[in-house]
Amino acid sequence: MDAKNIFISSQHRLKNLDWSDLIYVGLDHEKANEYKAEMVAEYAHKLFDESEVYVIIGRHDSHSSTLDEALNKVSTLLKTTDVMLCDTSFIKAMNFDMIGVMSYGQKHN
């Protein structure tokens, strides 16, 4: 799926997720190197059943990636944009905000 279709699909198919409360994950930049990569990875590996995820960062830059590659890029991407990771079925997602918080959710049965 190309970037535009990943982005549009995520906008429509991730609307009705049950989201967690916000969780502070920190930031990685020149004034604060406090991004909690291990904690984020632990949440992600518990949430996602498959190794491939979509990285949603806009209409032109969204793409498919392995979960581990995506997790390695999140702290860098958060310096300039919000980021969402979701499974390829658009049933589970993690949302990261530039202020250093994340939430995760999935569709209820």
User: What's the chain look like in SS3?
Assistant: CCHHHHHHHHHHHCCCEEECCCEECCCEECCEECCCHHHHHHHHHHHCCCCEEEEECCCCCCEEEEHHHHHHHHHHHCCCCCEEEEECCCCEEEEEECCCEEEEEEECC
Q: Where are the domains of the chain?
A: 3-107
* Residue 97 pLDDT grade (very low, low, confident, very high; cuts 50, 70, 90): very high
* Residue 109 pLDDT grade (very low, low, confident, very high; cuts 50, 70, 90): low
Distance between CA atoms of 68 and 20, rounded to whole angstroms? Answer: 22
* Residue 32 pLDDT grade (very low, low, confident, very high; cuts 50, 70, 90): low
User: What is the tens place of the pLDDT at every residue in 50-94?
Assistant: 999 999 999 999 999 999 999 999 989 998 999 999 999 999 999
- Does the global pTM surpass 0.75? yes
pLDDT recorded at residue 29 = 72
